[in-house]
Chain A
Amino acid sequence: MNSEPCNHDEALKKLLKEWRIKSSLPQNFQESVWKRIERTRIPKIASVFANLRNWLDTALPRPILTACYLAVLLTAGLTGGLTQAHQKNVRVKGELGERYVHSIDPYQARHEAAR
C-alpha cells in the first residue's frame, strides 16, 4: 500500500532532474522587481502623511479638541518657563552668595584665585 507514493516521488524526482528552463529572464528583471517593491512602499509613507493631514483638517479644528490642544501647549510652555526660571534664580542666588563669601573670607578668596 505504501509503495505507490514512493513510486510517485521517484517519478517526480526524475522529472525535476530532467527539467530545463529554456526561456531566459527578461532584460532589467532585477531592476523592475526593485521598482515594484519601491512602488508598494511609497503609498504607505504617503498614507501616513495623508492620515496626519486628514486628522489636522478634520479632527483638530473641532472646538473641544482645539481648546484641549491649546490648553496643553499653554500649560507646557508656562510650566517649562517657570521651572527653568526657578532653576536659574536658585543658581544665580547661590553663585552670588558664594561670591560674597569669597569677597570677605581671605582663605576662600585665595582658593578661588588658585582655581
Chain B
Amino acid sequence: MKKGALILIFGIALAVVAYAGVYFAWTSQSRNLEQSEKPELAWLKEEFHLSESDFKRISALHAAYLPECQEMCRKIEAQNARLKDLLATNSQMTAEIESALAESARLRAECQTHMLRHFYAVSQTMPPEQGRRYLAWVQDRTFLSDEDMMRQK
C-alpha cells in the first residue's frame, strides 16, 4: 500500500481511538454509578461528597424511610381513587366530597411532614456545607417544584 493511503487510514484510526479512549475514560464514573446496587444513593454519595461512614448512615436512614414512603403512596392512591369515584358520581358539591378533599389535604401535609423530617435527618448526617446544599436542592425538587405544582392543578 502506498504511504499516502497508510497515513490516511492511520489518521482515521487515530481519531477513532482518541474518541473512544476519552469517551470511556470520562464516562467511567457515570457507568460505575449506573451499575452500582443502589444507583440513586451512589449518586447522592458522589454529588454531596459523602464519606463512607456518612454514606452508611444515610443509606440506613433511606432504608428506614422507604417503608414509610411506600405506606404514604398507598394511602394517597386509595384517597385519590375515593375522590375520583365521588367526583364521577356527583354533579354538585357534597359533604362527602368536602370531607374527601380535606382528607387529601391532610394526607399531603402528613406526607410533607414525613419527607421534611427525613430531609433534615439526612442533611444533619452530612458535613454542614453539603447538608445545606442538600436541603436546598431536595426542597427545590419536592416542595418548590414547578412540575409538582403543575401536577396539582
Contact = CB atoms under 8 A, between A and B. Distances in A.
Given A61-B4, A81-B21, A92 B33 contact: yes
Contacts of A66: 7
Contact of A93 (B18, B19, B47): B47
B95 interface: no
Interface in B68-114: 69-70, 72-73, 76-77, 108, 111
Contacts of A57: 2-4
Interface in B4-33: 4-5, 7-8, 10-12, 14-23, 25-27, 29-30, 33
The secondary structure that dominates the A interface is: helix
A60 B15 contact: no
A78 B18 contact: yes
B47 A77 contact: no
Using C-beta atoms within 8 Å of the partner chain, give the interface range for chain A: 35 or more
Nearest to B108: A107
A98 to B, nearest CB: 8
B135 interface: no
Contacts of B10: 70
Contacts of A49: none
Interface in A40-81: 53, 55-61, 66, 69-70, 73-74, 76-78, 80-81
Given A57-B4, A85-B22, A106-B69, A70 B14 contact: yes
Given A77-B17, A100-B41, 7 more contacts: A61-B4, A74-B18, A77-B18, A100-B43, A103-B69, A107-B76, A107-B151
